Amino acid sequence: MAYIKAITYYQPDEVITNEQLEKELGGIEQVAKTAGVDSRRKAAEEETASDLAVKAAEKLFEEHGLKPSEIDFLIFCTQSPDYFMPSASCIIQDRLGIPTTAGAFGYDLGCSGYVYGLAITNSFVDSGLAKNVLLLTADTISKYLHPQDKNRLLFGDAASATLVAPEGAARIGAFERGTDGSGLEHIIIRNGGNRHRAMTGNSRKDENGNIHYDDYFDMDGEAVFNFTVERIPELMKNCLAKNEMEKEDVGFYVFHQANKYMLNTLRKLNKLPKDAFFVDLSDTGNTTSSTVPIGLVKSMKNGRIHEGMNVMVAGFGVGLSWAATILKF
């Protein structure tokens, strides 16, 4: 068995308020209300995802009295790597002073990344491959957003750190997951990778007046919404079945914090109690792979998650990919 033993998150210093974005972009008031975001954090120009991850890990060690020497595997989830090579996980291992006997690797996932990371760390600990696995998530998505893209309202930069071990506060349950790569165009940065190395400066306007930039983050919001309401009810049903539970056995739900409107739609669609469903992007925005751990930390601190409770966590988005499990506190 594997457990979440410790968990925390970190946000960079700079706060970007809705008032600032209104001055820069204009006409965001209604969008902000629908999204449920009042402010978000932005990494500094020279600050990378690995920098945020290191600070999250250091915060975890300090808050929980842990030592880098205790870590025997490090896993890092990001879609904003420092370099094409080497893996940022190796850089983080060195910066944190984790022993060279520890394994380290990174993987490239966004919104479902944390739950996939729990699946990986769970298998490592459960199989005996590792004892104390440090799972880190971090993204600096602000660096991928065009200055005039109103998606700047929605997204924020952040990192999380989780220690998975043979004992702890929450036992990790069985997983349900899925992938549909045919939806790659729904959330994409087209240029800069090896498929299209050159930046083109190309953009186009859709029928709703939204501008899509080939060199920057591009999202088809309608397609992503339709994917979510179609896939997530089935994901929840299958996750419950994998864990031999009924919906009534789950006391709380922490899903990827995509936006307030989408989350409330999912809650109503699945007939879930409002007080058992986490919705809070107000001071973070959508932080991609870090939304679920942020939600867990906030809910544990305010008492909405407590001992004896079963909590469903789910991530879904870019890929397209999705995953869920039950945490047994």
What pLDDT, on the 0 to 100 scale, is given for residue 26?
86
- Which CATH number fits the domain that encloses residue 257? 3.40.47.10
For residue 278, give the amino acid letter: F
Q: Are residues 146 and 243 in the same domain?
A: no
**151 and 219 in contact (C-beta within 8 Å)?**
yes
What pLDDT, on the 0 to 100 scale, is given for residue 3?
98
* Rounded Cα gap, residues 242 and 150, in angstroms: 39
Mean pLDDT of the chain: 96
Residue where a domain terminates, one of 146, 168, 190: 168
Q: Are residues 272 and 305 in the same domain?
A: yes
Q: Are residues 121 and 184 in the same domain?
A: no
* Rounded Cα gap, residues 60 and 66, in angstroms: 7
How, if at all, do strands 310-317 and 252-255 pair? parallel
Residue where a domain terminates, one of 168, 195, 212: 168
Q: Are residues 316 and 230 in the same domain?
A: yes
Can you list the positions of beta strands (E) in 65-146? Answer: 73-77, 103-107, 133-139
What pLDDT, on the 0 to 100 scale, is given for residue 34?
92
What pLDDT, on the 0 to 100 scale, is given for residue 27?
84
Give residue-wise pLDDT tens across range 291-318: 999 999 999 999 999 999 999 999 999 9
Q: Are residues 295 and 309 in the same domain?
A: yes
pLDDT for 271 beyond 80: yes
* Rounded Cα gap, residues 163 and 324, in angstroms: 19
Residue where a domain terminates, one of 133, 168, 203: 168
For residue 29, give the amino acid letter: E
User: How many structural domains is the chain composed of?
Assistant: 2
Give residue-wise pLDDT tens across range 42-91: 999 999 999 999 999 999 999 999 999 999 999 999 999 999 999 999 99
Q: List the helix and strand counts (H, then E) for the chain.
A: 8, 15
Q: For residue 183, give the DSSP letter.
A: G
Q: Are residues 77 and 225 in the same domain?
A: no
**Once rounded to an integer, what is the mean pLDDT over residues 186-195?**
92
Q: Are residues 209 and 141 in the same domain?
A: no
**Residue span of the structural domain in which 82 resides:** 3-168
Q: Are residues 25 and 149 in the same domain?
A: yes
Can you list the positions of beta strands (E) in 18-142? Answer: 39-42, 73-77, 103-107, 133-139
**Once rounded to an integer, what is the mean pLDDT over residues 185-198?**
92
